[in-house]
Amino acid sequence: MKWVWSAIALLLGRGRRAPARVDRQRLIVEQPPSRRGENVVLVLLGLATLSFAAFVAVYALDRLPAQTQLFGITLGLGFAFAAAACIVTSRLLVPVEEISDPYANEPHEEAVAEIEQLVEESGSRLTRKRLLTVAALGTGGAMGAALLAPVASLGPVVGPDALRRDGWRRGMLLVDSEGRPLSADGVEPGTFYTAFPAGASHDELWAPLVVVRVTDTLELPEGRDPQRWAPEGIVAYSKICTHAGCAIALYRSPLNEETSMKPALVCPCHYSTFDPARGAKVLFGPAGRPLPQLPLQIDDRRRLRAGGHFSGNVGPSWSGVRRGRA
């Protein structure tokens, strides 16, 4: 804490002219430089910089195994090495000063001059000030980058086209999580099904679908022919909520047609609710646009296949999505 007040007083007194000192008697006992301590500090600052940089790299790559654990390890090591560097600096590189009298409430020229001398003499043990300063600035910059990296999660920063990527194509078979083809005859009313593209990764943002059979009157948006977009009343929508990217995991199916609300797809994170009979129009919640719909085909074996690409962009309505087709 004393160094904080000393630095503040030094900055405030820089513009004042200190009185000439006839005898510059040392205020701090002169102590020999510690090259070993400087080397240790440099190594610790270097390790801290590498750890913070590793955190940014892990965050950017986004698909490493045990990523959450790597976040904790890299960020924790970065702070540990930085803290160790500060401890070694205070123990080996900063001279020990003992002051018995308290500082005056109002700074004056002599006190400012003494503080300037204290700061000057405190650095007399450092033989590589510039190198240590650069190392400390590098560590601070890497730490700042590591702390700011999660801001990228607010929207697409690297590769925003990933939000507009659609791997579905005409004729692609719909399968369940076990890789079994989804049959049109097996899609029953009042039941929620999850489907994926055959032969493609289930982890892709565009891959998961929700499939339901609509028994209400279809009111699809203009330009969507029910024969192409909802054959036999079966509709398929992206499983990724357009609000925050959670998975649509609930299907509200009425038990009493007269008193219950109509069927709806529901996101469990913030309860955005979508109407499957009206092109997944938003009925409730913070979602800003409908779920993208996938056109469907029924082949001669009654299996469901994609009839083309999504009606819009998959996922949250970030700026990168809004610039593309809605």
pLDDT digits (tens, 9 = 90+) for 144-195: 888 877 776 665 555 555 556 678 999 999 999 899 999 999 999 888 899 9
Question: Considering the chain, what percentage of its residues have pLDDT values greater than 90?
Answer: 34
pLDDT at res. 326: 42
Q: What average pLDDT does range 15-34 have in this prediction?
A: 56
Task: Give the max Cα distance, the chain.
Answer: 104
Residue 110 has pLDDT above 90, yes or no: no
User: Looking at the chain, which runs of residues are DSSP E strands?
Assistant: 174-175, 193-197, 209-213, 234-238, 250-252, 264-266, 273-275, 281-284, 293-294, 296-298, 304-306
- Residue type (1 letter), 302: R
The pTM (predicted TM-score) of the whole model is 0.54
272 by DSSP, 3-state: which?
coil
- pLDDT digits 0-9 by tens, 30-66: 666 677 878 888 889 899 999 988 888 888 776 677 8
Mind giving me the DSSP string for 156-201? --S-GGGGG-----TTPBEE-TTSPBPBGGG--BT--EEEEETTS-
Closest alpha carbon to 135 in 44, 7, 3, 36: 44
> For residue range 237-281, what is the model confidence (pLDDT) as tens digits?
999 999 888 999 998 877 655 556 788 999 999 999 999 999 999
| C-alpha triplet 29, 31, 32: angle, nearest 5° | 160
Q: What is the pLDDT of residue 272?
A: 93
Residue 106 pLDDT grade (very low, low, confident, very high; cuts 50, 70, 90): low
Q: How confident is the model at residue 324 (pLDDT cuts 50, 70, 90)?
A: very low
Give the pLDDT confidence score for residue 304 in this predicted structure.
96
Percentage of the chain with pLDDT > 70?
69
pLDDT mean over 20-33: 57
Report pLDDT for 56.
86
- The vertex-113 CA angle with 109 and 119, nearest 5°, equals 145
Q: Which residues pair with 303 in a beta bridge?
A: 183
Look at 5-9, 203-207, 249-253, 260-264 and tell me which has the smallest mean pLDDT: 5-9
Please report the domains of the chain, with CATH numbers, ordered by start residue.
Answer: 2-154 (no CATH), 162-322 (2.102.10.10)
